[in-house]
Structure 1
Amino acid sequence: MDVLDLSRWQFGITTVYHFLFVPLTIGLSVLVAGLQTAWHRTGDPKYLRLTKFWGRLFLINFAMGVVTGIVQEFQFGMNWSDYSRFVGDVFGAPLAMEGLMAFFLESTFLGLWIFGWEKLPPKVHLATIWLAAIGTNMSAYFILAANSWMQHPVGYRLNPDTGRAELTDIWAVLTNSTTLATFPHVLFGAFITAGAFVAGVSAWQLLRKRHVELFRTSARMAMAVTVVASVGVAASGHWQAQIMTEQQPMKMAAAEALWEDETSAGFSVFAVGDVENGRNHINLQIPYGLSLLATNTLDGKVEGINDIQARYEKLYGPGDYTPVVGLAYWSFRLMIGFGVLAALLALGGLWLTRRGRVPANPWFHRIAIAGIALPFLANSLGWIFTEMGRQPWTVYGIMRTAAAVSPGVDVAEVAITLVGFTLLYAVLAAIEVRLLLKFIKIGPEQEPEAPAQTAAPALSY
């Protein structure tokens, strides 16, 4: 491997690892705020116990997400200095806004929430967790705005003297159509992730018949959130697919292994392709499905890989503009498949726990525990598809990935840091799992019957 390949592997590993924590943090922040709101409105101690229990797990995950995200910031300078030099004026703006506005908001009010249980008035304390949750979601928006600019650059100009992209319209960057479609998709995906996590951990407690009424409540809440969020993911994903077809037709064509332009195109369920000759040997399809997904019509035209490649060669010059088709094709399908399974599992759980019931069969609990992994897999595959499907571009239509890598590093330096970061992240993963399991086994603390602001979640490890 050369520096480019190793740098891509390094950034890919750190990004996928970091994004394991992000959706869970986003979703749990809102669920914890919702549980504290329920306690504030009803005075029922069970909601206070659930708030503190899930609040501990949220704080552990939040801390790990912050630590793993810092590495990515440094990689822009270490591994991708030519990229940073070229687009820093544009790309840095939403990242700076995330750090100065959103991160300070969430971290400040999260601190007030942790230490303010007996010191702040109840309504003020409740407001702190909601403001922390809002800050968490704002952070996601600004980061997605930066990423969406790489997918669909707007609000900039190329300076012919410096050869750099310069920001001309920050509002255009923040309201990029790609951002407006991606943000709700990521947000709903985060709620599915948090819902599956809460439902799975609740199932673990119910399997052991611990705090049955308490965890039946949290399980049903989580499964209801998962079902509703699944509808949101499907709707926002449909919108996102239409925008992708318009802005990045090669990515959509690769996702469907569609080699030639086609009207009334079917959605591919299973295909065996011949990439070298640009055709499929086997392609099982749902009739009209792709045209409906990509254009909202049954007879819409969808461009194929071969035709787009020929057009791009005329537009951008000689080169291979096709991503890894097999990776794009299967990551797209597996993303959808794991998401559908998570939704079906939640729907089944709501049915089995209706009217005060708790499933007697341990198999459902075990499946729900295993189901925690489903949205994590769906989220990771979705980002792999999003980023790998954009190749060979770092900034679509403007800068190729090969031109973005740092010229001043060698293979040994990148290889050492790649191994170092991977091992470090493995250690952090072990710490994260150990802490989560420790507090899951401890379970919720007993609270006094009378509603009152009590001590903060215990964080002594």
Structure 2
Amino acid sequence: MSVEILSRIQFAFTVAFHYIYPPLSIGLGVVLVLLEGQYLRTRNPMYERLTRFWIRIFALIFGIGVATGIVMEFEFGTNWATYSRYVGDIFGSALAAEGIFAFALESGFLGILLFGWNRVPSWVHFLSTVMVALGSMFSAVWIVVANSWQQTPAGFHIVGAGLTARAEVTDFWAMVFNPSSVDRLSHVLIGSLLAGSFLVLSVSAWYVLNGRFVESSKAAFRIALLVATLSGLGQLFTGHRSAEGVSVNQPAKLAAFEGHYPASAPADLYLLGWVDNKTQTVKGLALPGGLSILLHQDPQAPVKGLRSFRPEDRPPVNFVFQTYHLMVAIGMALIGLTLLASWLLWRGRLWQTRWLLAVFVGAVLLPQLANQLGWYSAEVGRQPWVVYGLLRTSDALSKAVTAGQVWFSLILFTLVYALLFALFLYLLTKKIQHGPDEHELSEADHLSPASKRHNPAMSHEAPGAPAADLAHVSDL
């Protein structure tokens, strides 16, 4: 394989692996804020134990995410030197802003979040939880801004020519609020909320099915279900807004999303299908004029198609078509799951519907798949451009790197990341099997034994021990 293909595979692999963790930490951070907020509101130690438990999970995810993200910065210099020179001023300003406004905030309060229990006032610890959650979001802001600039460049001019050409910022805020950044950021953040909340839903459902930490798991499930339901519905809005922006700023990508070839004609909306690029046709189930309706509220409105672009300027159509439609299908499935669970919870029948709880245990993978597929759709749909309309991917490579060198580093990265992933799964499984620690210090531990006897919610009996129903919350 060529250096270009190998370098693209290597970068796609490292980014895809890294992208498992930031969405989880962002979504889980929001759930932590809600859990600890409930503890401060009710002073029920159950919520404190839940918060402590999920903070341990958060710390594991955060650590692996930081370790896997560093590699990409080196790849910019080793494999993509021309690209780095071209966008260095743009990326440099965005990444500097991430370090100042996001990573410093996140890491500054992380120590209090992890080790501040019983060492700082409860409101200070809660503030640290909020700040860490905001820091993880701010980090996503600047990464998405930098990536969105590649999709829809703005606020710059080109200095130099040929191999020495580079983009230089002329308007920082125009660069930040480029035409796609806000829509893409909202879509990414809501996808992250789904990833984090579904992790909590999965673990909580597993505990309920196995009769462990039942009442506290039900409480965590309710909070995560609220986040997931609102986020799933929100994705409908952000996804639509993002598609509208793509139709204006990257029409070739949108045409690939739906396999729309005519240069200017009404466009169908496919539910599923297969693109034959040779015959330039799509076989599948479609809503006639559906894409025209979504974009222009008119089934006869023309939509710019792939034949408007030279063949060498078109993305790989079938790949983008499939990843996009799989992402949409998963998104709709998540909405259906959360709405069904919310309805059953409202009717008081959720905990008896064991098959649905079992579905939630495995559904933890669905938001991750949707996030990955969405990233593939956005990045492969941008091809053959690494900076849309300005710099081709084939021109962005380092000139001194050989295919053998890329092969060696790709194999090495694969082995190291496989070990990291195995370690992550082992530690995550171990923490989940252990569950919330029922004997951790809390305000309840400082009460007298007599006070605890008169307050069933402060009891610390072991799971499964004989206890009255009113004291069952304390078992968890």
TM-score range, shorter chain: over 0.9
**Superposition pairs for residues 112-123 of structure 1, below 5 Å?**
112-123=112-123
DSSP 3-state at the match of 1:158:
strand
DSSP 3-state at the match of 1:177:
coil
Q: Deviations over 1:56-87 (max 9, x none)?
A: 11111011110010001111001100100111
**Superposition pairs for residues 130-145 of structure 1, below 5 Å?**
130-145=130-145
Report the Cα distance in structure 2 between the residues aligned to 1:21 and 1:115, rounded to whole angstroms: 22
DSSP 3-state at the match of 1:352:
helix
DSSP 3-state at the match of 1:353:
helix
Q: Given that residues 117 and 453 in structure 1 are in contact (C-alpha distance below 8 angstroms), is that contact kept between their aligned partners in structure 2? A: no
Report the Cα distance in structure 2 between the residues aligned to 1:433 and 1:445, rounded to whole angstroms: 20
TM-score normalized by the length of structure 2: 0.90
> Paired residue for 1:195, among 190, 194, 197?
197
Using the TM superposition, give the Cα deviation of residue 178 of structure 1 relative to its aligned residue in structure 2, in angstroms: 0.6
What amino acid sits opposite 2:55 in the alignment?
G
Residues 1:177 and 2:169 aligned together? no
Greater shift, 298-307 or 89-98, is seen at 298-307
Structure 2 equivalent of residue 316 of structure 1: none
Structure 1 equivalent of residue 414 of structure 2: 422
Using the TM superposition, give the Cα deviation of residue 352 of structure 1 relative to its aligned residue in structure 2, in angstroms: 3.2
Q: Given that residues 23 and 189 in structure 2 are in contact (C-alpha distance below 8 angstroms), is that contact kept between their aligned partners in structure 1? A: yes
What amino acid sits opposite 1:391 in the alignment?
Q
Residues 1:38 and 2:38 aligned together? yes
Instruction: Give 5+ residue unaligned stretches, structure 1.
Output: 310-318, 455-461
What amino acid sits opposite 2:141 in the alignment?
Y
Greater shift, 97-106 or 236-245, is seen at 97-106
What amino acid sits opposite 1:191 in the alignment?
L
Structure 1 equivalent of residue 225 of structure 2: 223
What amino acid sits opposite 2:333 in the alignment?
L
Give the 3 Å change call, closer, same or farther, for CA 46–320 of structure 1 in structure 2: same
Report the Cα distance in structure 1 between the residues aligned to 2:353 and 2:246, rounded to whole angstroms: 44
Using the TM superposition, give the Cα deviation of residue 411 of structure 1 relative to its aligned residue in structure 2, in angstroms: 0.8
What amino acid sits opposite 1:75 in the alignment?
E
Using the TM superposition, give the Cα deviation of residue 297 of structure 1 relative to its aligned residue in structure 2, in angstroms: 4.3
Report the Cα distance in structure 2 between the residues aligned to 1:421 and 1:258, rounded to whole angstroms: 37
> Paired residue for 1:335, among 327, 350, 366?
327
Report the Cα distance in structure 2 between the residues aligned to 1:181 and 1:20, rounded to whole angstroms: 21
Report the Cα distance in structure 2 between the residues aligned to 1:111 and 1:452, rounded to whole angstroms: 23
Higher-Rg member (1/2):
2
What amino acid sits opposite 1:141 in the alignment?
V
Report the Cα distance in structure 1 between the residues aligned to 2:385 and 2:69, rounded to whole angstroms: 23
Q: Given that residues 265 and 302 in structure 2 are in contact (C-alpha distance below 8 angstroms), is that contact kept between their aligned partners in structure 1? A: yes
What amino acid sits opposite 2:417 in the alignment?
Y
Using the TM superposition, give the Cα deviation of residue 9 of structure 1 relative to its aligned residue in structure 2, in angstroms: 0.2
Report the Cα distance in structure 1 between the residues aligned to 2:330 and 2:414, rounded to whole angstroms: 26
Residues 1:367 and 2:369 aligned together? no
Report the Cα distance in structure 2 between the residues aligned to 1:62 and 1:448, rounded to whole angstroms: 24
Q: Given that residues 263 and 291 in structure 1 are in contact (C-alpha distance below 8 angstroms), is that contact kept between their aligned partners in structure 2? A: no
> Paired residue for 1:432, among 402, 416, 424?
424
Q: Given that residues 192 and 230 in structure 1 are in contact (C-alpha distance below 8 angstroms), is that contact kept between their aligned partners in structure 2? A: yes
Residues 1:398 and 2:398 aligned together? no
DSSP 3-state at the match of 2:401:
coil
Q: Deviations over 1:163-186 (max 9, x none)?
A: 221111111111112111011111
Give the 3 Å change call, closer, same or farther, for CA 110–279 of structure 1 in structure 2: same
Structure 1 equivalent of residue 470 of structure 2: none
> Paired residue for 2:211, among 202, 209, 212?
209
Instruction: Give 5+ residue unaligned stretches, structure 2.
Output: 448-476
Q: Given that residues 152 and 180 in structure 2 are in contact (C-alpha distance below 8 angstroms), is that contact kept between their aligned partners in structure 1? A: yes
Report the Cα distance in structure 2 between the residues aligned to 1:225 and 1:349, rounded to whole angstroms: 13
Q: Given that residues 345 and 371 in structure 1 are in contact (C-alpha distance below 8 angstroms), is that contact kept between their aligned partners in structure 2? A: no
TM-score normalized by the length of structure 1: 0.92
DSSP 3-state at the match of 1:359:
helix
What amino acid sits opposite 2:319 in the alignment?
L
**Superposition pairs for residues 290-309 of structure 1, below 5 Å?**
290-309=291-310
What amino acid sits opposite 2:220 in the alignment?
S
Greater shift, 296-305 or 335-344, is seen at 296-305
DSSP 3-state at the match of 1:166:
strand
Give the 3 Å change call, closer, same or farther, for CA 268–361 of structure 1 in structure 2: closer
Greater shift, 31-40 or 350-359, is seen at 350-359
Q: Given that residues 249 and 308 in structure 1 are in contact (C-alpha distance below 8 angstroms), is that contact kept between their aligned partners in structure 2? A: no
What amino acid sits opposite 1:119 in the alignment?
R
> Paired residue for 1:410, among 402, 417, 439?
402
Using the TM superposition, give the Cα deviation of residue 357 of structure 1 relative to its aligned residue in structure 2, in angstroms: 4.8
Using the TM superposition, give the Cα deviation of residue 283 of structure 1 relative to its aligned residue in structure 2, in angstroms: 4.2
> Paired residue for 1:241, among 240, 243, 252?
243
Q: Given that residues 198 and 363 in structure 2 are in contact (C-alpha distance below 8 angstroms), is that contact kept between their aligned partners in structure 1? A: yes
Report the Cα distance in structure 1 between the residues aligned to 2:297 and 2:77, rounded to whole angstroms: 42
Q: Deviations over 1:173-231 (max 9, x none)?
A: 11112111011111111111112111111011111101111101111211221111011
Greater shift, 299-308 or 431-440, is seen at 299-308
Q: Deviations over 1:271-319 (max 9, x none)?
A: 3433124334x3431133211333454443211111233xxxxxxxxx6
> Paired residue for 2:278, among 266, 273, 276?
276
What amino acid sits opposite 1:183 in the alignment?
L
CA-atom RMSD, angstroms? 1.8
Give the 3 Å change call, closer, same or farther, for CA 453–170 of structure 1 in structure 2: farther
Give the 3 Å change call, closer, same or farther, for CA 398–406 of structure 1 in structure 2: same
**Superposition pairs for residues 93-132 of structure 1, below 5 Å?**
93-132=93-132
Structure 2 equivalent of residue 15 of structure 1: 15
Q: Report the number of matched residues.
A: 444
Using the TM superposition, give the Cα deviation of residue 132 of structure 1 relative to its aligned residue in structure 2, in angstroms: 0.9
What amino acid sits opposite 2:157 in the alignment?
R
Q: Given that residues 45 and 448 in structure 1 are in contact (C-alpha distance below 8 angstroms), is that contact kept between their aligned partners in structure 2? A: no
Structure 2 equivalent of residue 352 of structure 1: 344
DSSP 3-state at the match of 1:119:
coil
Report the Cα distance in structure 2 between the residues aligned to 1:300 and 1:131, rounded to whole angstroms: 47
Give the 3 Å change call, closer, same or farther, for CA 303–452 of structure 1 in structure 2: farther
Q: Given that residues 81 and 396 in structure 2 are in contact (C-alpha distance below 8 angstroms), is that contact kept between their aligned partners in structure 1? A: yes
Give the 3 Å change call, closer, same or farther, for CA 184–452 of structure 1 in structure 2: farther
What amino acid sits opposite 1:114 in the alignment?
L
Give the 3 Å change call, closer, same or farther, for CA 204–15 of structure 1 in structure 2: same
Structure 2 equivalent of residue 63 of structure 1: 63
Q: Given that residues 272 and 325 in structure 2 are in contact (C-alpha distance below 8 angstroms), is that contact kept between their aligned partners in structure 1? A: no
Report the Cα distance in structure 2 between the residues aligned to 1:121 and 1:142, rounded to whole angstroms: 32
Using the TM superposition, give the Cα deviation of residue 343 of structure 1 relative to its aligned residue in structure 2, in angstroms: 2.0
